């Protein structure tokens, strides 16, 4: 049994994963300047936490944050990054606009609402696994359609839209990391335009489901609280954040449990505790960016206004100063505070729903089959700076 990080050695089962590159950063100083890109890289848990809370750092990096790759393309006075609709996302806003937009849909993620969604999630898992006999693809057969249907229900659009979410989310993800490439910009803006079209069509259709994102936002627009463009912007944010990160995490969670030989043990104990440790161990969102708007010091380094800062959440979750034996996957660990969903006012709004989906997926597999093993190596596909876990096939039997 190998309990350590499944990406730090070649087992013959798992191909190289970018997580290995991220963890290598842990061997350097917790705050350091990356001269090649002209950005700060922060890996220490205490330093990441402090900077996530610091008013000296702005979340509006798509508007103001640039790397040397962008300056080489556009010049020092180049245009803002990504796309206009992305720059409207509330996760890329500071106060008070951040709280205005986020606050509108926060009630949809309240405990009572999530309890109602949990029943739908569990029913969807049951439906997706009902006809499985001896082999299942965790990604194509479970994680991707599950996350897609949940996002569609949350938004208030038809389930027929769900199969399109994977392509949209992937192209938007690439846009966030490689918007200096013309092809990435074309594909990403194309995906965003298609989401806008779906939103416009849904809003023109009588009877947008009550208590959905589109219904809440359309009422806010009618009341003059937000602009029409904010509706599609928030919808595209939820497509990216609600679909991509959750579906990817489900696949990575299954992969990690199988690699460490802990599938049977972990899935017969408290699933919620197992999910929490898996979130710490291998989060879907390895980093978030911020741009400095005032000088700030961290670990003896001075970050100046205009500097772009990369806060490495995945590496911080493996900080030995916070977590004992951090490269060991221990489902019985009292995980405590991890940074998978961020920290402070920008803490992930959908964290509770992500936990529900992951728990339902793991529980659904474990209840049906006592024996689960890989049917082959995971299929990873690079996509303009984003690594996609495309297939994870399992052999199963009762």
For 101-133, write each residue's pLDDT tens digit.
Answer: 999 999 999 999 999 999 999 999 999 999 999
Q: What are phi and psi of 28, to 5 degrees?
A: -95, -175
Question: Crossing angle, helix 111-129 and helix 144-155, to 10 degrees?
Answer: 140
Please, what is the Cα angle at 245 between 177 and 140, to 5 degrees? 110
Kindly report, residue by residue over 45-97, the tens digit of the pLDDT. Answer: 999 999 999 999 999 988 776 665 555 555 555 556 677 899 999 999 999 99
Q: Output the pLDDT for position 337.
A: 83
Name the 3-class secondary structure at 373: strand
pTM score over 0.85: yes
Query: Under 8 Å CB-to-CB from 24, ≥6 apart: which residues?
Result: none
* DSSP 8-class letter at 97: H
Q: Output the pLDDT for position 335.
A: 67
- In the predicted model, what is the mean pLDDT of residues 26-41? 88
C-alpha to C-alpha distance for 349 and 241, rounded to whole angstroms: 10
Instruction: Report the mean per-residue pLDDT for the chain.
Output: 89
Percentage with pLDDT > 90 across the chain: 67
Higher pLDDT, 314 or 334: 314
Q: Output the pLDDT for position 65.
A: 62
- Least confident stretch, 54-58, 174-178, 342-346, 350-354: 174-178
Percentage with pLDDT > 70 across the chain: 90
91 in Cβ contact with 61 (< 8 Å):
no
Query: Under 8 Å CB-to-CB from 253, ≥6 apart: which residues?
Result: 275, 278, 282, 358, 361, 362
Say whether pLDDT at 379 is over 50.
Answer: yes
* Domain ranges for the chain: 19-71+97-397
* DSSP 8-class letter at 343: -
C-alpha to C-alpha distance for 333 and 88, rounded to whole angstroms: 39
Q: How confident is the model at residue 13 (pLDDT cuts 50, 70, 90)?
A: very low
Q: Output the pLDDT for position 282.
A: 87
Alpha-carbon dihedral of residues 334, 339, 340, 344, nearest 10 degrees? 120
Kindly report, residue by residue over 216-231, the tens digit of the pLDDT. Answer: 999 999 999 999 999 9
Residue-wise DSSP of 104-120: HHGGGGSHHHHHHHHHH
Kindly report, residue by residue over 229-281, the tens digit of the pLDDT. Answer: 999 999 999 999 999 999 999 999 999 898 888 888 887 778 999 999 999 99
Say whether pLDDT at 18 is over 50.
Answer: no
Higher pLDDT, 96 or 20: 96
* DSSP 8-class letter at 6: T
| CATH assignment of 19-71+97-397, among 1.10.1670.40, 2.40.50.100, 2.60.40.1180, 1.10.630.10 | 1.10.630.10
- In the predicted model, what is the mean pLDDT of residues 158-163? 96
Name the 3-class secondary structure at 321: coil
Say whether pLDDT at 99 is over 50.
Answer: yes
Q: Output the pLDDT for position 283.
A: 83
């Amino acid at each position: 049994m190998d309990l350590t990080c499944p990406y730090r050695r070649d087992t013959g089962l798992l191909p190289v994963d970018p997580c290995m590159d991220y963890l290598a950063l842990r061997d350097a100083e917790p705050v350091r300047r990356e001269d090649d890109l002209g950005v700060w890289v922060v890996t220490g848990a205490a330093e990441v936490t402090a900077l996530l809370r610091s008013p000296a750092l702005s979340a509006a990096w798509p508007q103001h944050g640039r790397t040397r790759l962008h300056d080489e393309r556009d010049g020092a006075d180049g245009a803002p990054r990504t796309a206009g609709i992305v720059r409207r996302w509330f996760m890329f806003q500071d106060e008070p606009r951040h709280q205005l937009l986020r606050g509108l849909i926060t009630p949809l993620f309240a405990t009572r609402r999530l309890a109602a969604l949990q029943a739908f999630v569990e029913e969807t898992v049951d439906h997706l696994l009902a006809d499985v006999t001896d082999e299942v693809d965790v990604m194509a057969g479970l994680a991707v359609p599950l996350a897609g249907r949940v996002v569609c229900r949350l938004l208030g659009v038809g389930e027929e839209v769900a199969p399109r979410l994977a392509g949209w989310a992937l192209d938007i993800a690439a846009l966030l990391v490689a918007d200096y490439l013309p092809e990435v910009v074309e594909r990403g803006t194309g995906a965003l335009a298609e989401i806008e079209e779906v939103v416009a069509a849904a809003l023109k259709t009588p009877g947008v489901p009550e208590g959905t994102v589109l219904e809440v936002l359309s009422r806010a627009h009618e009341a003059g609280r937000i602009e029409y463009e904010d509706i599609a912007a928030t919808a595209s944010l939820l497509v990216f954040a609600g679909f991509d990160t959750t579906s990817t995490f489900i696949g990575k969670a299954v992969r990690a449990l199988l690699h460490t030989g802990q599938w049977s043990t972990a899935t017969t104990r408290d699933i919620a505790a197992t999910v929490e440790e898996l979130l710490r161990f291998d989060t879907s969102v390895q980093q978030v960016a911020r741009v400095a708007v005032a000088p700030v010091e961290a670990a003896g380094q001075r970050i100046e206004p205009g500097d772009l800062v990369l806060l490495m959440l995945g590496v911080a979750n493996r900080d030995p100063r916070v977590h004992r034996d951090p490269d060991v996957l221990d489902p019985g660990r009292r995980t405590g505070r991890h940074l998978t969903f961020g920290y402070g006012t920008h803490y992930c709004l959908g964290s509770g729903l992500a936990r529900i989906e992951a728990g339902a997926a793991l529980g659904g597999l474990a209840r049906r089959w006592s024996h689960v093993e890989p049917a082959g190596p995971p299929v990873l596909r690079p996509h303009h700076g984003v690594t996609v876990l495309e297939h994870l096939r399992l052999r199963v039997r009762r």
